[in-house]
Structure 1
Amino acid sequence: MPDVKLEIQMLHDRVMVRISPEDGERRSSGGIVIPATAQMAKRLAWGDVHGVGTNVRHVKVGDRVLFNPEDQYEFEVQGATYLVLRERDVHAVASERSDHGTGLYL
């Protein structure tokens, strides 16, 4: 298949998210490297929205969302891994919206 850019339209209240690359290996405040495989308390992740369904009201393409990555469906498109979640599974939205103050909605 040639290198063609696919346009994916999500359905209903679904959101297509790509996990941010910095959510892998982390550093503690003391400088210790914590690998992505380290088991910790349930950790939420930030991701970038790449598609939204027709019934999604509070999230748009380009927003960063906070969600639990362990309870979602994962799929791959042209070598990139994405997650599908419902809008109600989004805990917060960080965007460049200037009409509501800070841009972080919890």
Structure 2
Amino acid sequence: MTVKPLDDRVMVKLEKTESKTAGGIIIPDTAQEKTQTGTVTAIGDNKDVIKVAVGQKVMYDKYAGTQIKVDGVEYLILKMSDIIAIIE
């Protein structure tokens, strides 16, 4: 299945958080902090507003976007205004 965001929206592949500390303690999913970074996998068709490109790593607002699952992989569809930084 292919998902193409519309207008000023961006699709981001979520990064998995480390579930084990440096000391070897396993952190359950319910206690982990929500990840706020991901990789852009698709962009909408409003090129005037969208300032990121496919493949860039970005940081976004904590509770932004709509989470979806495509072929077992978790993605987030965000508005461009919810992206706060490009990570280089």
- For the aligned pair, the TM-score class normalised by the smaller chain equals 0.7 to 0.9
User: How many residue pairs were aligned?
Assistant: 85
1:9 aligns with 2:4: yes
Greater length-normalized contact order (CA 8 Å, ≥ 6 residues apart): 2
The structure with the larger Rg is: 1
1:11-45 CA deviation, whole Å, 9 max, x = no partner? 11101011112x242536xx3647242266xx661
Query: Scaled by the length of structure 2, what TM-score is found?
Result: 0.74
The answer for unaligned runs of 5 or more in structure 1 is 1-5, 95-102
Identity fraction in percent: 32
Q: Give the alignment of 1:36-51 within 5 angstroms.
A: 36-38=29-31, 45-51=36-42
Distance in 2 between the 1:26 and 1:69 partners?
Answer: 22
Contact kept in structure 2, 1:44 and 1:66, CA below 8 Å: no
Give the alignment's Cα RMSD to 1 decimal.
2.4
Distance 1:67 1:34, change over 3 A: farther
What is the CA–CA distance in structure 1 between the aligned matches of 2:2 and 2:35, rounded to whole Å? 28
